[in-house]
Each structure stands twice: as structure tokens, then as C-alpha cells.
Amino acid sequence: MTALVSEFLPERDREFDASAVDAEPSLPASHAATATLIASAAAVLAACGGAGSDVGTLPSSATSASSQSSVTGNAAQSVPSAAPNAPAAAPTTPTSSTTPTSSTTSTSSPATVKTADVSGVTDAPIDLPGAARFLAQTTFGASRAEIARTQQMGVTAWLDEQFAMPLGTSHFQWLKSKGYDNTTLIFNSSSFDYTVWRAFLSSPDQLRQRVVYALSQILVVSISGVNSAWTPFSVGNYLDVMGANAFGNFRTLLEQVTLTPAMGDYLNMRGNRKADSTGRLPDENYARELMQLFTIGLTELNPDGTPRLVGGQPQDTYDLDDVTGLARLLTGWEYAVGYDGAPEQYATPMFCYPARHESGASSFLTVNVPGGNDGPGALKLVLDGLFAHPNVGPFIGRQLIQRLVTSNPSPAYVGRVAAAFANNGAGVRGDMKALIRAVLTDVEARTVQTAPEAGKLVEPVLRFTQFARAFGVNSPSGDWKLGNLSDPATRLGQSPLHSPTVFNFFQPGFVPPNTALAPVGLVAPELQITSESSVAGYLNFMQTVINNIASIGATDLVVDYSGLQSIAADANALAAEVELILAANRLGLTNRTLIRNALTSMPIATVANLLDRVKAAILLTMATPEYLVLR
């Protein structure tokens, strides 16, 4: 493991070698436990568990559902926390277009549309660890006070409160208010990171923001792939559209995201023109990703997300002819007119130029669009057809489960979530509130899963935001100047909306090679960006952040440790409090003992000593494999 500089130990004990990339930490005997604990974080590379981690070992074969314990937390370990303010688009949009008549034919067995299955839903009371675990699934992090408040409210009341919260300041509005529309900044993208961290670390509508982040990893746009002016406004507007529709309907979300200039630039729908005599053909990029990644996936699915087999073989959802036919229907779109290159142009739905749109008859999947269609009308038929496909519920539902709860949900869990997508109980398909509620209130989400294959590796962004939210990170100036954290050697190795490709930071079906996961058919998406160097980089970065968050850049961010300092003289109480807040009491005895022994060995004679102990408790907890794997 890469060595760590022990900023939190007394000066005489600081013997970590920060210059040796792969050196082992050198500590005196009194802190051998600390070194052992930090090194144990590498266990996640083997199979999300390993020696000394108390995470467990994998079974010889995958099971259809994880083992369960109580609906509360770990009782045995319980410790007594919209659209941008831009002008309306003048051009014609799909909602105002004349829609041509189309015909559809079925070529596959559609899923039966039924009322949402609530047999797996639970609203049992939760204890403090249960509340902390719930908030780890639904927010970017929670303070001790918010954990206690949520425990008192219960899951249903908390969700109702979050669903009712109004939209806060949009990214577009905030960027304008801070003067980032100054023409000298037209090609400067740094302010995008500031507004994203502002929303993720301070907005009260935590569930909305967490769902926006999850959706941004499914309907992917990466700012590094948006080659336009005013990229903070363009990609910020994409997030605003996500936020405005996160609790709405998936069909509306899909249309509005499709028409954002950010998506148009990222996947080449903007500027996509019909074929002509020069040999130019419609660009197929958005057509392919719209099907493969945003709606139906590559393989036909049963309602529970398992592959639909014919003759024992999985069936493709589409072929090259479908991509070509769909691409013809997505031609003619450009930036809206009338904004003279101002930021508002990049935050207004795209406009379809009739002369650039392929108006001839075209078809894909079961959708047949007649000749004479216009762009907005064709788009409506395209999205209606995809939205009605039986794959959408299980395909999107399973990924939302993966982003919020667990990497390997049982088919029954996926089926219950897909049923809520198909019918919210009032005959409405695609209700995002019903979908989110089904994901988060399912018995597999609310019951602590004890099987070793259960849970998910917490991605780096969420580890950082949890720390920040838990301990009140704030920007007194309101500038939130925290930048891109993508560097795996010196930062998190991940930063929102900075994925390297349209396939996100990691793919939902990623199976780490040469691990115990592969033989038993389990996936671990987040391990795709996990390596020995990234684990070390994360620990080094978090050590710097915990010690002095303002030192990571030109930022005025501050953190509040006062709640922990008041109990820091008691090593056991401090360790228990930090474990509850950050890890929902899921540490095993081995690492709990290591941490408490390490803290006990630290001096407490001065206020500075007590603060060092607090910082050490946080870092060591965040280094444990049990913390890194959310169950």
C-alpha cells in the first residue's frame, strides 16, 4: 500500500513515508494497529473482503436473494443523524408539433402491466444505525442530528418530506449570480465543478440531488466531452433538467434530457443532418446510446430483469437496421435561435430545422413512422415507442437499485421495482416517485443484508460527500471553489459529470477479473475504478481533507468537528460516534478494536491533541473495508 503521512499522530510518531508510492508505512509498535487498519483497505480489491476486514468471504455459488437480519440497523452494535432561469424557447418543440400517425407491431413477449407489487415493501421502525444506513442510501451524507431526526420520523415520512421539497437555486441561476457569464469566461469550465459541489454539499433537497447524481450515471453526459462555449451553463442546465424531472415522469425526463444542448453536443444529435447527395449519412451515435444505455439495453429482459431466453439463448433488443432507422428520425436538431451565443442558448431546448430533418418513412424496433413527418413529431413517436418497451422498467430500475442500494439485487427485488415503474398504483407508467419509493422501501433495501455478496462498494464521490455532509463542510463566501477531483493519484479518482466515456465511470455489469466475484456470477461496478493506487490516493486525499480541507485548493471550505471534540477524551465514545455517523455501526470487532486501541494511544493533554484524535477517528473509520462496502 502507498504510505500515508500521519498528520494526526504526535510529532514523534510521524514516520510514514509519503514519498514512496508503494512503500509500507513505518510506525512504532504503539501504532502498529493503525498501520494494519489502513493496509486492510486493500482487501476490497480481492473480493470486497479479506483478512482482518470482517466483511466476509463469498459463497461458492451465487444465491437468488441475500441473507437478511433485522429491519433495523445492527442492533448488537447500536450506539445510544428546475429548469434554468432562461428565456423560453421560441422554436417548435415536440409538445407543440403535429404528430404523424404510426403503427406498431409486437415482435417480443411484452411484460404484463400490473399494479406495483408491495409485498416486498416495509415501513418498520428503524433504530439509529438503521437511520444512518438509510441516509447513506438516499443522501450525500448526514449529520448526527439528521440521523436522529430521521430515526424519529421513519422512512415514509422522510421520503414524503423530501418529495415535497421545492427546487432550490438552479445551476444556471447560481452561475449567473456569481458572474460566470462574463464573456472572458466563455471557454472556462472550472465554475461547473463549483456549482455541482455547492448543490451536492449544501442543498436541503438531498434525495433529489442524490437521484440526479444517480441518473447522471445512467443518462450520461460528461463535461469533458461537451465541446461548446459556456460549458458550465450547458452541463449545468442538463443537471437542472434532471432535477426538475427527478420526481416527475421518466418519459418527460427522457425527452427533456434528449433536447438539452449538452446531450446534443455530447452524443452528436446537435448538427445531425439527413442524408444528401454528397454521401453524408445521419450520425448514429445518439440513436445507439438512446437504446443501449438510456432505455432498453442490449438484451430482452423478463419483468424481473433476467434475460428473456428463446431456445435457451438471450435475444438482442435491436440490430443495425434499428440503429440506422432511428438515426434518420433524430435528424435536424440545432441550438435554439435568438440568443446570439449567450449562455441562455445553451440552456434552451434544441430546435429542429425542417430542411435538415429526414422526413421520409422510417422504422426501428416495432415503431413505423410514415413519410411526411417533422422532427418534433418523429421524436415524440421515437420516445413513446421506447418508453413503452417492456425492458425499460427492469433496465432502469435495476441500475437505480445499483446506484442507491446494492450491486446484485435479487430478481424479485428488480421485479417489484419494475412493477412500480409499469404502474404506480393509479395506472401511470414511469412515475419516478413510485420508482424511487419502490427502490428505497423494498424489504431488501430496508433489511440489513448479511450475505457476503450483499451490498455495494461506496464510490469515491459518495465517500467524500458523506464526510462533508456529516461534519458540516461549508463555504462561508458561498463560492464553493472545489474543483475536479478525478486524479486517482492525488484526489478521489472520480468527480461528478467527469466520466471518461458515455459508459460512465463504471459499467453496471462489470465483473472484476481474477477475483472471487467472477466464478459466482456477481458484479461490482465500482471496482472498475478501484486499484491499489486509487485506494492509496483516496486515503491520502481524505487525510489531507480531514486535516485541513482548505488546503486542497483555492477554497474557503471549513469543517465543524465541535460535536466530536466534546467527547474526544473518551476514545471508546468517540470511535462509537464516528462509526455510527459514517458506517451505521457495521464495523467488525477486529477493526473496531484496532481503531479504539489506536485512539487510546494518542495523547489528550491539549485541545489540539483532542482535535487530532477526532481526525484520526474519522480517517481510520473511512479506511476500513466495512465502511467502504455499504450493506
Question: Which position has the higher pLDDT, 338 or 238?
Answer: 238
Q: Is 60 in the same domain as 107?
A: no
> What pLDDT is attached to residue 8?
35
> What pLDDT is attached to residue 97?
39
Question: Is 145 part of a structural domain of the chain?
Answer: no
Question: Is 425 part of a structural domain of the chain?
Answer: no
Reply yes or no on whether the pLDDT at 110 is more than 90: no
> What pLDDT is attached to residue 70?
44
> What pLDDT is attached to residue 38?
55
Residue that is written with C-alpha cell 455532509 in the block: 469
Give me the mean pLDDT over the 263-278 stretch: 94
| Mean residue pLDDT across the chain | 85
Eight-state DSSP code of residue 362 = E
Give me the mean pLDDT over the 589-606 stretch: 97
Q: Is 373 in the same domain as 479?
A: no
Reply yes or no on whether the pLDDT at 43 is more than 80: no
- C-alpha 176/C-alpha 29 separation (Å) is 55
Q: Is 535 in the same domain as 481?
A: yes
Residue 61 — pLDDT band, cuts 50, 70, 90? very low
Residue 515 — pLDDT band, cuts 50, 70, 90? confident
Give me the mean pLDDT over the 37-55 stretch: 46
> What pLDDT is attached to residue 122?
63
Reply yes or no on whether the pLDDT at 148 is more than 50: yes
Question: Which position has the higher pLDDT, 30 or 485?
Answer: 485
Reply yes or no on whether the pLDDT at 199 is more than 60: yes
Percent of the chain clearing pLDDT 70 (strictly above): 81
Question: Which position has the higher pLDDT, 38 or 429?
Answer: 429
Question: Is 180 part of a structural domain of the chain?
Answer: no
Name the residue among 602, 606, 604 with its Cα closest to residue 619: 602
> What pLDDT is attached to residue 551?
87
Element (H, E) at 466: helix 460-470
Residue 39 — pLDDT band, cuts 50, 70, 90? low
Q: Which domain holds residue 362?
A: 94-112+203-407
Element (H, E) at 309: strand 309-310
Question: Is 395 part of a structural domain of the chain?
Answer: yes
Give me the mean pLDDT over the 283-311 stretch: 98
Name the packing angle between helices 144-153 and 128-138 (round to 10°): 100
Q: Is 307 in the same domain as 360?
A: yes
> What pLDDT is attached to residue 111?
39
Q: Is 370 in the same domain as 482?
A: no
> What pLDDT is attached to residue 19?
32
Of 377, 407, 437, which marks where a domain is finished?
407
Question: Is 241 part of a structural domain of the chain?
Answer: yes
Of 407, 435, 466, which marks where a domain is finished?
407
Give me the mean pLDDT over the 248-275 stretch: 97
> What pLDDT is attached to residue 46?
45
Residue 215 — pLDDT band, cuts 50, 70, 90? very high
Name the residue among 107, 93, 100, 99 with its Cα closest to residue 322: 107
Q: Is 255 in the same domain as 289?
A: yes
Residue 450 — pLDDT band, cuts 50, 70, 90? confident
- C-alpha 581/C-alpha 578 separation (Å) is 5
Q: Is 457 in the same domain as 396?
A: no
As a whole number of angstroms, the longest Cα–Cα distance in the chain is: 83
Q: Is 249 in the same domain as 396?
A: yes
Residue that is written with C-alpha cell 513505518 in the block: 26
- C-alpha 351/C-alpha 359 separation (Å) is 16
Reply yes or no on whether the pLDDT at 14 is more than 60: no
Question: Is 80 part of a structural domain of the chain?
Answer: no
Give me the mean pLDDT over the 119-131 stretch: 81
The structural domain count of the chain equals: 2
Residue type, position 354, single letter: P
Of 374, 407, 440, which marks where a domain is finished?
407
Give me the mean pLDDT over the 230-250 stretch: 98
Question: Which position has the higher pLDDT, 62 or 39?
Answer: 39
Percent of the chain clearing pLDDT 90 (strictly above): 75
Q: Is 385 in the same domain as 487?
A: no
Cα dist. 214→150, 211, 449, 496, 526 in Å?
A: 22, 5, 22, 10, 13
Q: Is 107 in the same domain as 29?
A: no
Question: Is 421 part of a structural domain of the chain?
Answer: no
Reply yes or no on whether the pLDDT at 169 is more than 60: yes
Query: How many residues are listed for the chain in this entry?
Result: 631
Residue 42 — pLDDT band, cuts 50, 70, 90? low
Q: Is 483 in the same domain as 395?
A: no
Name the residue among 470, 412, 407, 464 with its Cα closest to residue 438: 412
Question: Is 496 part of a structural domain of the chain?
Answer: yes
Give the N- to C-terminal CA distance of the chain in Å, as an integer.
Answer: 25
Q: Is 380 in the same domain as 251?
A: yes
